């Protein structure tokens, strides 16, 4: 049987974990011999990176969730390109692809769900017209099943990362003129309330005296304001950093106070470099972090508990080293090669009927 021709659709206009997974998947499938086409908005980082990697692309507006014009255009593209499968990677793409494929029973629709909160319009979008769902964690699948989506229509395929490429680790102490005795804690990713940005101040101000004085915070993914202070703790807002692995390699501890997380690839990235994480036990994070072995999990919303975990790692060098080694070993179980192969298995099964 010939391998299916796959269109990947993603409506994101920024570069976040979901877009990175689409890029890794598309390039990995291409290397396995699949024919892939990446559809994304004009000027999106995903389009730019896909083109730079030599992947065929198509620019589509993908504005509203029920963008009829984009749906018609996607329908024409799927027909002209001879697509066998359309893979929608976010909620907006799901709706548009659903419209585009009405009546096109020979073209299969696969939808990936990356967030651990209940889907909307379940009867309209999730009961019919989708041949398979992919959830990026068992936590995401559980939320989908609770919303009324049959469990046997959902495959769990963990997001994956390639082996980190650390070229020149950042020495944040030297760069910022911080004392050698300080412990550099980092927050990585989108600086939004969902990711717990509003929690950081509450954690920082609870740190006891000596720990408070030893702690420094580095924000990777913020607005790039430069020198900053978080509830009195000295820090640095580095903004978006192109060489993210070099930046993370300069951290001692990762703080990840996210309120909701489908899986947490930024956490896996840090773990792969040997940086132990502290995180609230929400969404798919307990599937990644083994509490006390490859990081520390804290009850959701427990700022005092998070502070205690941070204090322990800041003051205990041996524990940091132990959890860092455990984190690196654990991260190997979430490699992008496995993610690509497992997704290809779903394609082949759906394509075969």
Q: Is residue 167 part of a domain?
A: no
For residues 279 and 257, give the distance between their C-alpha atoms in angstroms, rounded to a whole number: 5
The verdict on 179 and 327 lying in the same domain is: yes
User: Considering the domain boundaries, does residue 166 fall inside one?
Assistant: no
In a domain, 130, yes or no: yes
**288, 318, 291, 294: which is closest to 305 by C-alpha?**
291
Is residue 68 located within the same domain as residue 211? Answer: no
CA–CA separation, 46 and 57 (whole Å): 10
> Same domain for 123 and 244?
no
Are both 75 and 181 inside the same structural domain?
no
Q: Residue 253 is part of which domain span?
A: 172-331
Alpha carbon distances (Å) from 136 to 191, 277, 288, 331: 22, 20, 12, 15
pLDDT at 69: 94
The whole-number pLDDT of residue 190 equals: 62
Rg of the chain over Cα atoms, rounded to whole angstroms, equals 21
- Give the pLDDT of residue 196: 67
- Which structure tokens are listed for 170? 């950042």
In a domain, 149, yes or no: yes
Is position 215 within any domain? yes
In a domain, 165, yes or no: no
251 in any annotated domain: yes
* β-sheet bridge partners, residue 236: 218, 227
**319 and 347 belong to one structural domain:** no
pLDDT at residue 209, rounded to an integer: 93
Same domain, 62 and 121: yes
Cα separation, 195 vs 17, in Å, equals 13
pLDDT tens digits along 217-244: 999 987 888 999 999 999 999 998 888 9
Whether residues 121 and 226 fall in one domain = no
Same domain, 190 and 122: no
Angle at 189 between CA 198 and CA 240, to 5 degrees: 110
Q: Do 209 and 143 share a structural domain?
A: no
Assess whether 180 and 324 both reside in one domain: yes
Report yes or no: 101 and 78 within 8 Å, Cβ to Cβ.
yes
Domain count, the chain: 2
- Phi, psi torsion values for 279, nearest 5 degrees: -150, 155
Residue 223: strand, helix, or coil = coil
Over the chain (353 residues), what is each successive 10-residue block's mean pLDDT?
Answer: 88 93 98 96 96 97 89 96 97 95 91 93 86 97 96 97 93 97 90 71 94 96 86 93 93 95 96 98 97 97 96 97 98 97 96 86
Indicate if 137 and 237 belong to the same structural domain.
no
């Amino acid at each position: 049987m010939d391998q299916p021709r796959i269109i990947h659709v993603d409506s994101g206009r920024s570069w976040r974990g979901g877009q990175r997974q689409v890029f890794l998947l598309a390039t990995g499938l291409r290397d396995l011999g699949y024919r892939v086409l990446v559809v994304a908005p004009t000027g999106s980082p995903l389009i730019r990176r896909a083109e730079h990697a030599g992947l065929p692309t198509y620019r589509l507006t993908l504005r509203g969730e029920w963008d009829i014009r984009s749906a018609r255009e996607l329908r024409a593209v799927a027909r002209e390109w001879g697509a066998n499968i359309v893979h929608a990677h976010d909620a907006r793409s799901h709706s548009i692809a659903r419209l585009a494929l009405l009546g096109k029973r020979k073209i299969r629709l696969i939808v990936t769900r990356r967030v651990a909160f209940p889907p909307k319009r379940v009867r309209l979008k999730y009961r019919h017209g989708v041949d398979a769902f992919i959830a990026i964690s068992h936590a995401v699948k559980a939320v989908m099943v609770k919303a009324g989506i049959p469990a046997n229509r959902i495959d769990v395929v963990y997001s994956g990362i390639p082996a980190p490429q650390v070229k020149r680790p950042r020495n944040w102490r030297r760069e910022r003129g911080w004392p050698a005795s300080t412990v550099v804690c980092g927050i990585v990713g989108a600086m939004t309330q969902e990711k717990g940005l509003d929690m950081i101040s509450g954690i920082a101000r609870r740190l006891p005296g000596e720990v408070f004085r030893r702690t420094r915070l580095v924000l990777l993914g913020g607005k790039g304001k430069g020198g900053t202070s978080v509830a009195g703790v000295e820090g640095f807002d580095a903004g978006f950093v192109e060489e993210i692995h070099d930046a993370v390699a300069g951290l001692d501890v990762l703080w990840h106070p996210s309120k909701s997380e489908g899986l947490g690839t930024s956490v896996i990235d840090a773990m792969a470099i040997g940086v132990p994480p502290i995180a609230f036990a929400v969404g798919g994070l307990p599937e990644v972090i083994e509490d006390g072995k490859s990081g520390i999990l804290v009850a959701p919303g427990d700022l005092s508990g998070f502070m205690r975990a941070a204090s322990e790692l800041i003051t205990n060098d041996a524990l940091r080293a132990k959890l860092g080694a455990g984190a690196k070993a654990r991260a190997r179980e979430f490699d992008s090669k496995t993610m690509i192969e497992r997704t290809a298995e779903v394609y082949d099964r759906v394509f075969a009927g």
